């Protein structure tokens, strides 16, 4: 790579998206550093999905600026898509293809050379301990394995940033933790990880988190800073306080 | 409790396979009238299969089950009128409005929304401003509340809620459990499933379920206490290096991230906890983690679940 190392993976400044009269994302400003594990939290409907669609180059903002992996979200969305990985909770792999076929498919989508694909496939299978199962249909893999594989496939083209949308939903508690170790390993190799979750203990695993409330960023910082600043014991407590200020006052 | 008191649900030796997949394996359990009972386990544990058998939608391969004293395989029609069921997947009519969905589900059971309104009022009042909105256009939390109203509108004697809080944010989940508390107070028996271990404490009793088998059935505090060995928290600013260093400690039995700390158990069962904590802290300081703190802690239900679930499932 000839590009200079970019210390900032994501920069968003007063990023806004309106749908008609509804402002889904309302002037959000934040940076994510390269190699950081950034937790992007918020209640259902707070604007997370809209923000992620903008940052992954799928949706144009109404106003404000954002650069992802050094590329402008207005004019360089195709370049962004090539530089990022994305793993959705619902669908990431083709269930009726085998593990190896899924890897080959994604390698083709991202234009990997034959040699690159072969090397990376073998390395990935070895890292996951799936060498013996490469010919297995994804359908027959347990959910936790499917999610670990989907994460690895999202990293196949060595993106600088990977977006993970509720990657551990419904996964057993041990596999959920193994998944987070894959996240740490990726971050230690320099990949920026942008992750959403409804498990509040996982919020604590992030380097920094932001909590979206009604389209805005209600809190942003390391879990330790936020505990101190808001005088709370846990990210769960903070989340409840921010997401329903009236409810917690009333009950 | 003796089996005779389990008047709401009695399950004996229940098994179900789908092809080569074992969904339920010899499950035996009882639930008393008026309980708020939770099945806690990850996706694929068998929760949905069990609920579908109990609400008479599928048949077991072996074993028997009664709900409200009626056999789930032979007394289907008597049962269906008395049972409320909220499936895990959103299963209302997206093109009907909130109010139309509710009226439809009432009419299927020959009930009227008006007669039953007192029961659903605490929930429906929050939906009333959106009563003309298409159900498909509701937010996740609102869909869930409407589904609960539809499951309640024929005034069932027992309610089965299959993963009502999955994919729902932490605050909406909390509000949903508050609704369930209110329904429980009205005397309704409630059986609920969830993959979120922290929701176990909301239930009077829970069953931990994994790969079709029950790992434990008891009050949540008793299950947590049954962990049965010294448990420690380890804290340091550098989390990932801490995890690797703790794993590398030769006496480590288990090391798991738990929120902002690690949970640690030691192989040396006979050693005093204070001595373990001291030696472990020394070891970690030796790895450059100068700010490390090791303390004894009380196990949670998730600790017990992980200790009892054994190795996660193999890939193939």
A89 vs B contacts (CB less than 8 Å): 167
pLDDT score for B125: 86
By C-alpha distance, the chain B residue nearest A212 is: B169
Point out which residues pair with B232 in neighbouring strands.
B264, B296
Which of B42, B174, B248 is most worth mutating to test chain A (most A CB atoms within 10 A of its CB)? B42
Q: Percentage of chain B surpassing pLDDT 90?
A: 76
pLDDT score for A251? 35
Average pLDDT over residues B35-57: 96
- How does pLDDT run across B220-278, given as a tens digit for each residue? 999 999 999 999 999 998 888 999 999 999 999 999 999 889 999 999 989 999 999 99
List C-alpha distances in Å: A198 to B42, B165, B196, B277: 14, 10, 10, 32
Rounded CA separation B45/B194 (Å): 11
Calculate mean pLDDT across residues B117-122. 86
The pLDDT assigned to B4 comes to: 53
Task: Give the pLDDT band (50/70/90) at residue B123.
Answer: confident
Choice among B41-45, B139-143, B238-242 with the minimum mean pLDDT: B139-143
Give 3-state DSSP helix, strand, coil % of chain B, rounded to 5: 40, 25, 35
Main-chain dihedrals φ then ψ at residue A13, nearest 5 degrees: -130, 115
User: Within a domain: residue A148?
Assistant: no
* Mean pLDDT across chain B: 92
From A227, which residue of chain B is nearest by alpha-carbon distance? B260
Select the residue from A172, A175, A226 to test the B interface by mutation, using most B Cβ atoms within 10 A: A172
A98 touches chain B (CB under 8 A): no
Q: Which residues of chain B make contact with A251, given a CB cutoff of 8 A?
A: 178
Q: Which domain holds residue A170?
A: 8-91+160-250
Sign of CA dihedral A170, A174, A175, A177: positive
| pLDDT for residue A248 | 42
| A187 contacts in chain B (CB < 8 Å) | 240
Q: How many other CB atoms are found less than 10 A from the CB of residue A90?
A: 8
Tell me: pLDDT of B23 over 60: yes
Q: Considering the domain boundaries, does residue A136 fall inside one?
A: no
Question: What angle, 0 to 180 degrees and rounded to 10, lies between the N-to-C axes of helices A235-243 and A223-230?
Answer: 60
Residue B227 contacts residue B285 (beta carbons within 8 Å): no
Whether residue A178 lies within 8 A of chain B, CB to CB, comes out as yes
Q: Which residues of A touch B169 (CB under 8 A)?
A: 42-44, 198, 239, 243
Per mean pLDDT, which range of A27-36, A95-104, B120-129 is the poorest? B120-129
pLDDT at A43: 87
Q: b/e for A112-141, b at 16 or more Cβ within 10 A?
A: beeeebeebbeebbeebebeebbebbbeeb
Question: What does DSSP assign to residue B313?
Answer: P
Q: Which whole number is the average pLDDT over B128-157?
A: 90
- Give the domain CATH number at A175: 3.40.50.300
- The neighbour count for residue B216, using CB atoms within 10 Å, is 18
pLDDT band at A4 (very low <50, low <70, confident <90, very high): very low
- Inside any domain, residue A65: yes
**Mean of all residue pLDDT scores within chain A:** 91
Are B170 and A174 within 8 A, CB to CB? no
Per-residue pLDDT tens for A205-227?
999 999 999 999 999 999 999 99
Domain count, chain A: 1
Asked if residue A247 has pLDDT above 50, the reply is no
pLDDT at B166: 86
B158-161 and B83-86 as β-strands: parallel, antiparallel, unpaired? Answer: parallel
Instruction: Write down all domains in chain B, each with its CATH number in brackets.
Output: 3-225 (3.40.50.300), 231-298 (no CATH)
Average the pLDDT over A39-51 and give the result. Answer: 91
- Does A190 reside within a domain? yes
Q: Measured between beta carbons, which residues in chain A are less than 8 angstroms from residue B260?
A: 204, 223-224, 234
The pairing of beta strand B9-18 with beta strand B62-67: antiparallel
Report pLDDT digits (tens) over A63-90.
Answer: 999 999 999 999 999 999 999 999 987 7
Please judge whether A174 and B309 are an interchain contact, meaning their C-beta atoms are less than 8 angstroms apart.
yes
- Taking the CB of residue B131, how many other CB atoms lie within 10 A of it? 14
Count of positions (residues) in chain B:
316
Give how far Cα B229 sits from Cα of B35, B125, B254, B306, Å.
Answer: 30, 48, 12, 13
Name the residue facing B43 among A136, A143, A174 (closest C-beta): A143
Q: Is residue A242 part of a domain?
A: yes
A200 → closest Cβ in B170, B175, B306: B170
pLDDT at A249: 39
C-alpha distances out from residue A207 to A11, A98, A162, A168, B64, Å: 17, 35, 15, 18, 50
* Residues from chain B contacting residue A169 (CB–CB below 8 Å): 166-167, 195
Q: Is B150 within 8 Å of B102 (Cβ atoms)?
A: yes
Q: CA A137, A140, A142 angle in degrees (round to 5)?
A: 125
Q: pLDDT at position A40, please?
A: 97
> Which residues of chain A lie closer than 8 angstroms to B316, CB-CB?
132-133, 136, 140-141
Strands, DSSP E only, in chain A? 8-19, 22-33, 37-42, 63-68, 71-72, 84-87, 161-165, 192-196, 208-213, 216-221
In a domain, A123, yes or no: no
Contact A96, A139 (CB under 8 A): yes
Distance CA B298, CA B184 (A): 29
> Closest to B312 (Cβ–Cβ): which among A172, A201, A235?
A172
Q: Give strand pairing partners of B67.
A: B9, B70
Say if residue B316's pLDDT is above 60. no
At residue A52 the predicted structure's pLDDT band, cuts being 50, 70 and 90, is: very high
Instruction: Name the helix (H) or strand (E) containing A83.
Output: helix A77-83
A141 touches chain B (CB under 8 A): yes
Q: Do B312 and A144 touch (CB under 8 A)?
A: yes
Per-residue pLDDT at A109 exceeds 50: yes
The reply to whether A39 touches chain B by the CB within 8 Å rule is no
Question: Is A96 domain-assigned?
Answer: no
Put simply, whether A246 touches B (Cβ < 8 Å) is: no
Determine whether the interchain pair A198/B169 forms a contact, defined as Cβ–Cβ distance below 8 Å: yes
Phi/psi at A208 (5° precision): -140, 155
Phi, psi of B286 (to 5 degrees): -60, -20
Task: Give strand ranges (E) for chain B.
Answer: 9-18, 21-31, 36-40, 62-67, 70-71, 83-86, 158-161, 189-194, 205-210, 213-218, 231-235, 252-258, 261-266, 293-297
CA distance A218 to A191: 26
Domain assignment present for residue A119? The answer is no
pLDDT at A2: 38
Q: Do B167 and A136 touch (CB under 8 A)?
A: no
Residue B313 has pLDDT above 80, yes or no: no
Q: Do B312 and A177 touch (CB under 8 A)?
A: no
Strands B261-266, B231-235: pairing kind: antiparallel
Q: Is B225 exposed, middle or buried (0-12, 13-18, 19+ CB in 10 A)?
A: middle
Residue B142 has pLDDT above 90, yes or no: no
**Do the Cβ atoms of B260 and A174 come within 8 Å?**
no
Q: Compute the half-sphere exposure of residue A33: CA atoms within 13 Å on the CB side of its CA.
A: 10
pLDDT, tens only, B166-201: 888 888 888 899 999 999 998 999 999 999 999 999
Residue B298's pLDDT is 96
Collapsing DSSP states into helix, strand and coil, what is residue A231?
coil
In 3D space, the residue among B41, B61, B43 whose CA is nearest the CA of residue B216 turns out to be B41
Give the confidence band of A250 by pLDDT, cuts at 50, 70, 90: very low
């Amino acid at each position: 790579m000839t590009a200079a190392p970019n210390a900032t993976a994501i920069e968003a400044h007063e990023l806004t998206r309106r749908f008609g009269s509804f402002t889904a994302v309302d002037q959000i400003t934040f940076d994510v550093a390269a190699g950081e594990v950034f937790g992007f939290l918020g209640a259902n409907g707070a604007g997370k999905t809209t923000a992620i669609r903008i940052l992954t180059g799928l949706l144009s903002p109404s106003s404000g600026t954002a650069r992802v992996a050094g590329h402008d979200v207005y004019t360089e969305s195709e370049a962004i898509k090539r530089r990022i990985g994305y793993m959705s909770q619902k669908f990431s792999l083709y269930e009726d293809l085998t593990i190896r076929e899924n890897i080959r498919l994604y390698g083709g989508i991202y234009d990997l050379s034959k040699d690159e694909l072969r090397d990376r496939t073998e390395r990935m299978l070895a890292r996951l301990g799936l060498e013996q199962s490469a010919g297995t249909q994804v359908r027959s893999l347990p959910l936790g394995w499917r999610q670990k594989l989907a994460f690895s496939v999202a990293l196949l083209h060595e993106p600088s940033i990977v977006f993970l949308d509720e990657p551990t939903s419904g996964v057993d508690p041990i596999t959920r933790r193994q998944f987070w170790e894959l996240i740490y390993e990726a971050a230690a190799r320099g990949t920026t990880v942008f992750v959403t979750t409804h498990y509040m203990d996982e919020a604590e695993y992030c380097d920094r988190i932001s909590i979206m409330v009604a389209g805005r960023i209600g809190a942003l910082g390391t879990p330790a800073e936020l505990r101190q600043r808001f005088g709370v014991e846990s990210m769960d407590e903070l989340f409840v306080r921010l997401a329903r200020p009236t409810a917690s006052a009333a009950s | 409790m003796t089996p005779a008191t389990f008047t709401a649900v009695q399950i004996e030796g229940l098994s179900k396979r789908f092809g080569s997949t074992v969904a339920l394996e010899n499950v035996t359990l009882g639930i008393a009238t008026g309980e708020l009972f939770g099945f806690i386990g990850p996706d694929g544990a068998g929760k949905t299969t069990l609920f579908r058998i109990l609400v008479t939608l599928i048949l077991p391969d072996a074993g028997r089950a009664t709900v409200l004293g009626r056999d789930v395989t032979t007394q289907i029609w008597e049962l269906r009128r008395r049972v409320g069921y909220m499936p895990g997947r959103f299963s209302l009519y997206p093109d009907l409005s909130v109010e139309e969905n509710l009226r439809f589900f009432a009419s299927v059971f020959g009930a009227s929304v008006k007669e039953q309104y007192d029961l659903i009022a605490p929930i429906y009042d929050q939906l009333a401003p959106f009563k003309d909105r298409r159900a498909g256009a509701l937010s996740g939390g609102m869909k869930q509340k409407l589904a609960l109203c539809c499951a309640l509108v024929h005034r069932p004697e027992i309610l089965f809620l299959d993963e009502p809080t999955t994919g729902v944010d932490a605050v909406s989940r909390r509000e949903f459990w508050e609704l369930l508390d209110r329904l429980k107070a009205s005397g309704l028996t409630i059986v609920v499933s969830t993959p979120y271990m922290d929701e176990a404490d909301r239930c009077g009793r829970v069953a931990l379920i994994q790969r079709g088998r029950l790992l434990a059935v008891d009050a949540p505090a008793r299950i947590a206490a049954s962990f049965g060995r010294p448990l420690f928290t380890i804290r340091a600013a550098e989390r990932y290096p801490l995890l690797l260093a703790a794993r590398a400690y030769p006496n480590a039995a288990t090391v798991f991230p738990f929120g902002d700390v690690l949970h640690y158990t030691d192989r040396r069962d006979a050693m005093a906890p204070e001595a373990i904590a001291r030696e472990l802290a020394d070891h970690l300081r030796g790895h450059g983690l100068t700010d490390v703190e090791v303390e004894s802690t009380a196990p949670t239900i998730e600790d017990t679940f992980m200790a009892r679930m054994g190795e996660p499932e193999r890939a193939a």
